[in-house]
Amino acid sequence: MNRIVVLNPKGGSGKTTIATNLASYFAAQQQKPVLMDFDPQGSSLRWVRKRQPAQPPIHVVNAFEKDSRTTRTFQLRVPDFSTHVIVDTPAALEPRELADLTRDARKIIVPVLPSDIDIHACSRCIRDLLLVAKIRREDDRIGVVANRIRRNTATYQSLIRFLQTLGIPIVARLRDSQNYLRAAELGVGVHEMKSYIVREDVEEWRPLIEWLEPVAAAQAAQAATAPSPVAAP
């Protein structure tokens, strides 16, 4: 099972947008994703409940409410058939909480917005992941997503210069697009919307998917470029 944690202690960085769109992508690929919502705002939970029965299923776990009638382990259980667990973490996480949230994570995605406040928060987050949670750079488990960007602006250039100093890969650069707002309202992801509307957004997700699952991405690309079989005369 592939566990992916979307994490940034600063609120408003786009964690839920990335988590829900990842779950949507894997569901659209006939996988069995689980969306685990630790955020008390419950945005991921509400998003899943908006989905229609005809859409690919996404199992959701309400992880932010604690039930005294059962154990925490039982509350956070996921179905045996699950292929991916995408964890939507809350804001204002304490550094000591990072180790528990990331312990079994294959990949950790840190979204960051192009602003001085967000750059500073991202710097602290990466520092705590390395020093407190003991994530090693060489394991290639941490990736940064530059989120809601507007290219050719001074704030975007400042963000990219900062990210390049961290020694952590920038695994995606997602533009500031209204399509994400529409997707959230409908309970879908951009990969489930009409292709001619979201073509540019979907293309920006390609490097992130390749970083998360390089083997599967390579196989999909190979299948897409393979010549069609010629029928025998």
For residue 160, the domain's CATH number is 3.40.50.300
49 lies in some domain: yes
227 lies in some domain: no
192 lies in some domain: yes
Q: What are the distances in angstroms from CA 102 to CA 14, 69, 130, 138, 213?
A: 18, 26, 11, 16, 18
- pLDDT score at 75: 86
Instruction: Provide the whole-model pTM.
Output: 0.90
Taking only the tens place, the pLDDT of each residue in 145-177 is 999 998 888 888 888 888 888 889 999 999 999
- pLDDT score at 208: 97
130 lies in some domain: yes
**How many domains would you assign to the chain?**
1
220 lies in some domain: no
What is the three-state SS of 85-140?
A: EEEECCCCCCHHHHHHHHCCCCEEEEEECCCHHHHHHHHHHHHHHHHCCCCCHHHC
Average pLDDT, the chain: 91
Per-residue confidence band for 223, with pLDDT thresholds at 50, 70 and 90: low
Q: Taking the CB of residue 144, how many other CB atoms lie within 10 A of it?
A: 24
- pLDDT score at 72: 82
Taking only the tens place, the pLDDT of each residue in 64-121 is 988 888 888 888 899 999 999 999 999 989 999 999 999 999 999 999 999 989 998 9
128 lies in some domain: yes
- pLDDT score at 67: 81
Taking only the tens place, the pLDDT of each residue in 6-30 is 999 999 999 999 999 999 999 999 9
What is the residue range of 131's domain? 2-214
221 lies in some domain: no
Residue 225: both structure tokens together: 């470029």
Task: Give the dihedral of Cα atoms 102, 108, 110, 111; nearest 10 deg.
Answer: -120
226 lies in some domain: no
Name the DSSP letter for residue 191: G
